[in-house]
Amino acid sequence: MNGHCTEQQLIDYAFELASEAQTREVRAHLDSCEVCRAKLDGLKAKFSTLDLLREEVGASASLIASTVEAATGTKRPAILRLWARPWLGAVAAVFVVGVALLIVSTFGPGRKVSQPGTEKSFSQENLSQRTRDVPAATGPEKLVAADRSLPAEAASPTAVWQPQAKLGAGVVAQSLTTPAPAELKLADAEIDEKPPFAPASAIELVVLPRRQNVQLTIYNGADLTLVREQRLLTLKKGWNWLQFMWANTLIDPTSLSLEPVEHKDQVEVQQLVFPPRLRELGRWLIRSEVEGQVPFELTYMTSGLAWRAFYMGTLSLDERSMRLEGYVRVDNASGEDYEDAQTRLIVGKVHLLDQIRDLAQRQYAYGDPRSQGPVGGLGEAIDLEARNESLSLAELLSYTQGDSGVPMEAKEIIKEGLSEYFLYTIEGTETIPNEWGKRLLSFEADDIPVTSLCKYDEERWGTEPIRFVSFANDVEHRLGETPLPDGAVRIYRRIDKEKHLAYVGGTETKYIPVGEKVELNLGPARLVKIEPVLMDVRTENHTFDSKGNVTGWDEVRSWKIEIANARTLPVDIEITRGFDTPRWELKMENPTATYEKHDVTHARFKLTVGPRSKEVLTYTVTTYHGAREQVLIQREQNAQR
């Protein structure tokens, strides 16, 4: 070893992180170097301070009991140590990451509930029934806590916090009630017509219900998802504040909408405010004439959820038919878990003026995501340009996999056309956690008649023949029930009766409407060689001017195209040849192939080459130049007259 050991070498040596050779080397050096030994001792002494954190920590019996109860189903709320955290009130607004709901009641505690006589449906019996339906975290005892309004100073150590009131990854919900200043205590059934200016900052933490249900509508043409969810919110009679946080999610705050599902004539959502200095947070002001649980529908747009289609085709042994399986994969990178969501997938192109991701990541809800541009609700920003398609319903089996990787019950993706776009609805509900993807079978069709073709066109693909498989999205091809979304296609081929597969090729396909022909480019056909060889060039039929200069001629080229098929199957081949002039004449030298005029300057040859065999295609093409071409042009013009 040259010189002394480095600190890193000594650390690795002390903690047995070095290789054997390095360890031997350092040990040998230490034996002879006092400086490094002292340095090592110093490091060891320094690291010994880590032992300061070796404290005798024990899990309390109550923690163990509550953990067991929470894990096995009976949740016990954790205790929030408000008395040990005097700073909590100041940081509460930023402590919670994600979306949260805040109910702030501005009226006094202990007043009697005055139910309107017409609201028999919202009777105590009904309320009891509802509370039985919600998870344990939202039990009636927590509602009692919500009804209490305590002065800030009395934010009691016994206040209950339920961390399991969770909306999803990074999203914790809390509902908070304000203390009720004594002067605001009202008589029964009275509601101050003047709304409170803002919720108080002193808070009491209570429990918020989970989502009752959630529906996702995911567009694959844009980074856009419409979320509709229902929650049972506990309202007090009077003014209520409801807080929504979207930190660490990609929710567009300008798209937030909240509506009561029941008691619409008694519950009014008045305004949504974005308090200053509080980022990624909004509060609704709700006026309620009823007290208790009211179902609300919350809708908003988010980005980060996407779906895409992909297909797997398996060619039969003779490559005359194909089994095609279509899949959709849903990916969630929205920052939010969606549990048991009804999932709908939209095929169609959506034009967005503002990207939801940009809207979601603004510091303040109505700040402009760009330096310039429109500001406003999403409703103004979206312009659907989806495709119109004929409508049909298809029932196709699909299956998904759970966490354990064990195949679960088959699911169905129901497809239907809407006036502006095509809608795929996944049967039942799906849980799509944040950062997860989920693949679902969309359809499968057997024995689709296909055409396999090798194409050769130097102007388009160079000197390699390209392999194509074509079929149509119609009934004749056992498809045609729905349009096929754009996506990746992978084609395999059965190579023996044991159903072993060989990969043939892959490509991206565009959106395929019903009735459209599909031609899949599977890449170069390695086992087919096509080699055109120019065998002869000559000019003839020269014309001269009065001085003896050449003014026109015919050019005659003789070509030989050698085609070798090394496959065990016959191959249909299509060869396109160009002549750079619209005036050409072609003569086949052998009858192996036929040709047709493909366009004004191209001819196309079609032939079939047997398995493991060769074919030779010879032809002569004559082109006309100078005065000879002018003569032909003149004849064409005369013929047109």
Partner 1 sequence: MAAHLRGDTAAFRELVERYADGMLRYLIHMTGNRDQAEDLFQETFKKVHEKAHTYRGPVFKSWLFTIATRATIDHMRRRRHAATSSLDQETDCAGNESSSLAETLASDGAPDPAEELGREERKQQVREAVASLPVKQRATLVLAYYQQLSYREVADVMGCSLGTVKTQMSRALATLARRLPDSISVTK
**Ramachandran assignment for 319, one of left (phi > 0), alpha (psi -120 to 50 degrees), beta (any other):** left
* Residue choice 2, 21, 32, 50 for contact with partner 1 (CB under 8 A): 50
**Binding flag, residue 566, partner 1 (CB under 8 A):** no
**Binding flag, residue 56, partner 1 (CB under 8 A):** yes
Q: Give the interface segment with partner 1, choosing from 102-110, 129-137, 163-171, 407-415 (CB under 8 A).
A: 163-171
Give the DSSP letter of residue 183: G
The minimum distance between CB 573 and partner 1, in angstroms, equals 51
**Binding flag, residue 46, partner 1 (CB under 8 A):** yes
d(CA 430, CA 415): 17
Residues 24 to 43: which contact partner 1 by CB under 8 A?
A: 42-43
Is the CB of 16 or the CB of 153 nearer to partner 1? 16
**Binding flag, residue 17, partner 1 (CB under 8 A):** yes
* Residue choice 3, 20, 32, 48 for contact with partner 1 (CB under 8 A): 48
The minimum distance between CB 281 and partner 1, in angstroms, equals 13
**Binding flag, residue 45, partner 1 (CB under 8 A):** yes
First to last CA, the chain: 99
* Residue choice 95, 366, 399, 503 for contact with partner 1 (CB under 8 A): 95
> For tokens 């979304």, what's the residue?
485
**Binding flag, residue 70, partner 1 (CB under 8 A):** yes
The minimum distance between CB 53 and partner 1, in angstroms, equals 6
**Binding flag, residue 390, partner 1 (CB under 8 A):** no
The minimum distance between CB 250 and partner 1, in angstroms, equals 14
* Residue choice 21, 57, 187, 537 for contact with partner 1 (CB under 8 A): 57
* Residue choice 247, 441, 472, 525 for contact with partner 1 (CB under 8 A): 247
Helix (H) or strand (E) holding 526: none
**Binding flag, residue 21, partner 1 (CB under 8 A):** no
Reported in sequence order, the residue ranges of 289-387 that DSSP labels E, i.e. its strands, are 292-302, 305-315, 321-332, 338-347, 350-352, 382-384
Is the CB of 17 or the CB of 501 nearer to partner 1? 17
Q: Give the interface segment with partner 1, choosing from 52-60, 133-141, 145-153, 595-603 (CB under 8 A).
A: 52-60
Report strand pairing: 211-219 vs 338-347: parallel
Strand partners, 231: 211, 296
Q: Give the interface segment with partner 1, choosing from 86-94, 436-444, 462-470, 620-628 (CB under 8 A).
A: 86-94
Q: Is the dihedral of CA 389, 395, 396, 400 positive or negative?
A: positive
Contact predicate 557/621, CB 8 Å: yes
Task: Collect all residues with Cβ–Cβ distance below 8 Å to 219 and sequence separation of at least 6.
Answer: 225, 346, 348, 350
**Binding flag, residue 170, partner 1 (CB under 8 A):** yes
**Binding flag, residue 12, partner 1 (CB under 8 A):** yes
Could you give the C-alpha distances from 566 to 182, 434, 505, in angstroms and in order?
Answer: 94, 50, 18
Task: Collect all residues with Cβ–Cβ distance below 8 Å to 222 and sequence separation of at least 6.
Answer: 349, 350, 351, 352
3-state class (DSSP) for residue 636: helix
**Binding flag, residue 298, partner 1 (CB under 8 A):** no
Is the CB of 30 or the CB of 345 nearer to partner 1? 30
**Residue 188 tokens, joined:** 């029964």
**Binding flag, residue 363, partner 1 (CB under 8 A):** no
Q: Which residue, among 535, 413, 423, has the nearest Cα to 483 in the 3D structure?
A: 423
**Residue 408 tokens, joined:** 């679960």
Residues that bind partner 1 (CB under 8 A): 7-8, 11-12, 15-17, 42-43, 45-59, 63-64, 66-68, 70-72, 78, 81, 84-87, 91, 94-95, 97-98, 163, 169-170, 247-248, 403-404
